[in-house]
Amino acid sequence: MSDVYGEPLLRVDGLTKHFPIRAGILLRTVGQVHAVDEVSFQLDPGETLGLVGESGCGKSTVGKTLLRLYEPTAGGVFFEGRDITTMGRSELRALRRDIQIILQDPSESLNARHTVGKIIEEPFVIHRLGTADERRRWVGELLERVGLSPAAASRFPHEFSGGQRQRIGIARAIALRPKLIVCDEAVSALDVSIQSQIINLLLDLQREMNLALIFIAHDLAVVKHVSDRIAVMYLGEVVETATAKDIYAAPRHPYTQALISAIPMPDPTADRDRIVLVGDVPSPIDPPSGCRFHTRCRYAREDCRQRKPEVESVGNGASVACHYWRGL
Amino acid sequence: MSILEIDELSVAFDTEGEIVTVVDRVSFDLEAGETLGVVGESGCGKSVTALSIMGLLPKPAGRIQGGDIRFKGESLPSLAPERMRDIRGNRIAMIFQEPMTALNPVQRIGRQLAETYLLHQPDLDADLIHRRCLGLLDQVGIPAPEQRLTEYPHQLSGGMRQRVMIAMALASKPDILIADEPTTALDVTIQAQILELLRDLQRETGMAIIFITHDLGVIAELCSRAVVMYAGRMAEQAPIRPLFAGPLHPYTRGLLASIPRLEDEPKTVLTTIPGVVPGIDELPSGCRFANRCPHVKDLCNREAPELVVGEPGHRVACHRWREIDA
């Protein structure tokens, strides 16, 4: 936790992102996709916040909006006390030294026609750091740090496997020694035996560099393994926040409970007390009134349809947005 | 009784003039009414094995190089194309990870469902087909089936599309359903719905299921036995409980140990399998897991291990399984 008087490394306050839906030849706005609504959380140096939820819950949009890859509709994102949402171009460029992002498919973010060396060197070039010799040495060190041979610098991304390409993406992300990395489904496409290698690498780098991580993924077991705290999202909103341990041991929100119980356990003797949610996730274009989860919640009562639950602090930095969580 | 026997099946692909064996002497049986898991990581040959059973290997690159596939004693690779068409879809049906690739995007759901009937029973009465289609959608848990019949695939969610695929597969009451990663692209709460549906349908119809996945959690939950594949070969085959409680192959052990589990302490070091799977153009002549195995000896690099019986019903392909298990 940050000290009482200071700011955390990152404070996200009421972050909202709506995407307009345009139609007709004049492209008039005919509706809004409520991708992210009033999301708030904080993050300390060296800490990992996991953002978990199913497709369309807005977790990736949160990651991209707080980096200003999307312009937020409302709300503030304060990095070391400065509001990212009002920064100008040059301030933003300077900020990119401190905040980096790693995506699911590294081949989308690695230029296929550049050598690995050039890709990893690029951040130094953009920020005018070091001589050519120094940069070459740094690239070699970075490659070794992420478990690749320095000789990889002269090869091209397509010559590497998915796991190795993700290592290249990580080498580039840590090049400027950032304070925060947003990992957006960074290990989701990898096979289990490779996924565990990359998770260990990220945990190592975090300890070594006191990195803060926002770890976005749909696999709750993976998120739980890398996170200190977890925020569970449903249809654009955070429904529950708690420590990684608590959220598994004592989930408060009915959605979190269902999400955890739906995970297939690699243990044939495990007791399965499964909550199978009925129906599909409703559309974020016209989200349900009241509590957005009420259409699938087995505890829903009449006023859940009408009254939106507030995010309630429940101590130890945890919070839950449900009218009736105490009675469940 | 075995309804399907895969006997020393080898499948080769012709890649720019070079013949590469991607499935190498794979053998397993499927009992009537059981659910058999086939598990392994990308490139292990699990999907190619499934396509070989269906007679759907990509032509002309892929072909069965050796071994046999017998359905109720009848050898499938040597069947005449008409007879194979009859078995495929009718007796053995298959569902895939992404239903959009299997559904026709410009045809209404009802028309596509009706076609599965007409293909095998061309003189069926239209009213009867309509009633059966409604019954099928109802059986796979699709709400408002009458309306769904008039809709196009893109109007359905991923979970609903997978239910339509399952309905189409069930139309002919097959003896075997091959499910190739049918829940991998779905969210976990929707996956739970589909797994429950498959379990219920199996109880109702008694069909056997081959469930192909990379997810050991799904295997543990759904299957009674499983085959573990690695780099085109079988590593291990066992009933589910002994497989998870006492895996014999170092690869299975490594795989089970590297899964992050909900009950783990957060931020602890995960067990890993070092290195990467060898590419199909650099497969070693000995054991294919040798370069990543913590127990590797000279023999492993020289000779490929045969699949041997370890314990009753439990087979393993490892030179050193006995020493490791001790």
B258 and A218 within 8 Å at the Cβ level: the answer is no
Q: Which of residues 41-60 of A touch B (CB under 8 A)?
A: 48, 54-55
A24 touches B: beta carbon within 8 Å: no
**A191 reaches B (C-beta below 8 A):** yes
Say whether residue A270 is in contact with chain B using an 8 A CB cutoff.
Answer: yes
C-alpha–C-alpha distance, residues B136 and B57, integer Å: 29
| CA B187 to chain centroid | 19
Query: In Å, how far are A120, A128, A149, A156, B263 from A132, measured between CA atoms?
Result: 13, 10, 20, 20, 48
Residues 191-210 of B with CB under 8 A from A: 191-193, 195-196
As to burial, measured by CB atoms within 10 angstroms (0-12 exposed, 13-18 middle, 19+ buried), residue B188 is buried
Query: What is the structure's pLDDT at A27?
Result: 85
| Site of tokens 């061309």 | B122
Asked if residue A120 lies in contact with residue A143, where contact means CB atoms within 8 angstroms, the answer is yes
With a CB cutoff of 8 Å and minimum separation 6, the contacts of A212 are A9, A10, A43, A44, A45, A46, A47, A48, A179, A180, A181
State mean pLDDT over B263-271.
91
Three-class HEC string of A85-133: HHCCHHHHHHHCCCEEEECCCHHHHCCCCCCHHHHHHHHHHHCCCCCHH
How many other CB atoms are found less than 10 A from the CB of residue B224?
15
pLDDT at B118: 86
Report how far residue A281's alpha carbon sits from residue B69's, in angstroms, rounded to the nearest whole number: 42
Q: Is the pLDDT of residue A2 over 60?
A: no
Rounded mean pLDDT, B241-255: 96
Name which of B220, B241, B266 is nearest A224 (Cβ-Cβ).
B266
| CB contact at 8 A, A238 and A309 | no
**pLDDT at A1 exceeding the cut of 50:** no
Q: Which residue of B has its CA nearest to A148?
A: B275
Q: List chain A residues with CB under 8 Å of B191.
A: 262, 264
Q: Pick from B164, B199, B276, B281 the residue to mutate for testing the A interface (most A CBs within 10 Å).
A: B276
pLDDT digits (tens, 9 = 90+) for A218-230: 889 999 999 999 9
Residue pairs spanning A and B at CB distance below 8 A: 137
Whether chain A has a CB inside 8 Å of the CB on B157: the answer is yes
- What's residue B27's pLDDT? 96
Smallest CA–CA separation between A93 and chain B, in Å?
32
Rounded to an integer, the average pLDDT of A116-139 is: 95
CB-based contact A305:A290 (threshold 8 Å): yes
Fold of B2-91+172-325: Rossmann fold (3.40.50)
Give the pair of three-digit tokens for residue A228.
Answer: 């200190």
C-alpha distances in Å from residue B286, one per residue of A269, B12, B43, B88, B299 = 35, 18, 18, 36, 8
Query: CA A248 to CA A256: how far, in whole Å?
Result: 9
Condensed to tens digits (0 to 9), the pLDDT of residues A212-255 reads: 999 999 889 999 999 999 999 999 999 999 999 999 999 999 99
Kind plus residue range of the DSSP H or E element containing B289 = none
Domain residue ranges of chain B, discontinuous segments joined by +:
2-91+172-325, 103-171
Nearest C-alpha neighbor of B89 from the set B50, B54, B124:
B54
Q: What domains are defined for chain A? A: 10-98+178-327 (3.40.50.300)
Task: With cut-offs at 50, 70 and 90, classify the pLDDT of residue A198.
Answer: very high
* Strands ordered across the beta sheet of A74-79: A28-43, A10-23, A74-79, A82-83
DSSP B189-257: HHHHHHHHHHHHHHHHH--EEEEEES-HHHHHHH-SEEEEEETTEEEEEEEHHHHHHS--SHHHHHHHH
Closest partner residue to B261 (CB to CB) among A164, A221, A226 is A221
- CA A217-A220-A225 angle, to 5 degrees, is 95
**A194 near B CB under 8 A:** yes
For residue A308, name the pLDDT band (cuts at 50, 70, 90). Answer: very high
User: Per residue in B50-84, pLDDT tens?
Assistant: 999 999 999 888 999 999 999 999 999 999 999 99
- 8 A C-beta contact, residue B221 and residue A265: yes
A193 neighbourhood in chain B, CB within 8 Å? 41, 254-255, 258, 272-273, 292
Compute the average pLDDT of residues A299-322.
Answer: 94
DSSP B282: S
pLDDT number for residue A283: 87
More confident residue, A34 or B325: A34
Q: Pick A262's closest partner by Cβ from B159, B189, B220.
A: B189
- The alpha-carbon gap from A240 to the nearest alpha carbon of chain B, in Å, equals 17
Please compute the mean of the pLDDT values over residues A59-74 and round it to a whole number. 94
DSSP A270: S
Q: Name, in order, each residue with C-beta under 8 angstroms of B195's C-beta and a sequence gap of 6 or more.
A: A264, B183, B218, B221, B222
Contact B272 A218 (CB under 8 A): no
Alpha-carbon distance of B301 to B290, in angstroms, equals 6
Q: List the single best residue of A158, A191, A283 to mutate versus B (max B Cβ within 10 A).
A: A191
Q: What's the pLDDT at A3?
A: 47
Range list of β-strands (E), B243-317: 308-311, 314-316
Closest-CA residue to A201 (of A157, A170, A160, A162): A170
Average pLDDT estimate for B174-179 = 96
Question: Both tokens of residue A25?
Answer: 């030849």
What SS3 class is residue A152?
helix
| pLDDT 10s digits, B282-292 | 889 999 999 99
| Residues of A with Cβ-Cβ distance to B219 under 8 angstroms | 266
List % helix, strand, coil for chain B (3-state, nearest 5). 35, 25, 40
**Nearest chain A CA: its distance from B94 CA (Å):** 22
Question: What pLDDT sits at residue A5?
Answer: 56
Those residues whose C-beta lies under 8 Å from the C-beta of residue A188, and which sit 6 or more positions away, are A104, A217, A218, A219, A222
Measured distance CA(B245)–CA(B260) in Å, rounded: 17
Closest residue on chain B to A267 (Cα): B220
- Say if A249 is an interface residue toward chain B (CB within 8 Å): no
CB neighbours of residue B226 within 10 Å: 27
| Mean pLDDT computed over every residue of chain B | 92
- Determine the average pLDDT of the residues in A134-148: 96
Residue A126 banded pLDDT, cuts 50, 70, 90: very high
Select the residue of B160, B189, B217 nearest A54 (Cβ to Cβ).
B189
Tell me the nearest-neighbour CA distance from B129 into chain A, angstroms. 27
- Worst-scoring range by mean pLDDT, A33-42, A88-97, A150-159, B272-281? B272-281
The whole-number pLDDT of residue A328 equals 82
Distance CA A281, CA A56 (A): 8
